[in-house]
Amino acid sequence: MVDVSRVQKELTECNRDREVSGVSIALHDGSTISHLTGTIAGPLGTPYEGGTFLIDIRLPGGYPFEPPKMQFITKVWHPNISSQSGAICLDILKDQWSPALTLKTALLSLQALLSAPAPDDPQDAVVAQQVWIWPLLFSSIVFSISPCP
């Protein structure tokens, strides 16, 4: 069963400094505490700067001992994020998760992933190839599809 008091504490902590951190969390359309929506500001100095990215967050019954299930709702052109489904390739959302981590930590890690793509461990092979072979094309595609604030 999800630790409701911990999740409520995490929501409060995350939203307290959202202007500084660039991340926030809310209940997903007024649903239960186990279905949330995260928001990430596009990192400065990247092709994602100025964008606002929504993340679907589902907490399994074993949270915080099991990682949250996260995927991008907002379409993103990035080698570690599926351009079709929004699935994310990030170790802390899988085998490197620890109960010491928080939802805010996970969102900040996603924000960092936007800053530093890892094309050698891709979720989307086509995008990874662009990062390696045609980095300017990759950046121009990101600029053309990234959402405005």
| Residues 117, 80 contacting (CB under 8 angstroms) | yes
Tokens of 131: 């990062």
Angle separating helix axes 135-145 and 125-133, nearest 10 degrees: 130
Residue 149: the pLDDT is 46
Taking residues 98-112, report their average pLDDT.
97
Taking residues 28-49, report their average pLDDT.
90
Alpha carbons 4 and 51: distance in angstroms, whole number: 31
The fraction of the chain above a pLDDT of 90, given in percent, is 62
Domains and CATH numbers, the chain: 4-145 (3.10.110.10)
Residue 120: the pLDDT is 76
Spot the catalytic one: 41, 89, 93, 113. 89
Alpha carbons 71 and 80: distance in angstroms, whole number: 11
Closest-CA residue to 120 (of 81, 149, 83, 80): 80
Q: Tell me: pLDDT of 8 over 50.
A: yes
Q: Tell me, yes or no, if 14 is annotated catalytic.
A: no
| Its pTM surpasses 0.75 | yes
Which distant-in-sequence residues (6+ apart) come within 8 Å of 130 by Cβ?
79, 137, 138, 141
| Residues 104, 36 contacting (CB under 8 angstroms) | no
Of residues 131 and 104, the one with the higher pLDDT is: 104
Average predicted confidence (pLDDT) for the chain: 87
- For the stretch 64-100, pLDDT in tens is 999 999 999 999 888 889 989 999 999 999 999 999 9
Residue 55: the pLDDT is 98
Taking residues 37-66, report their average pLDDT.
94
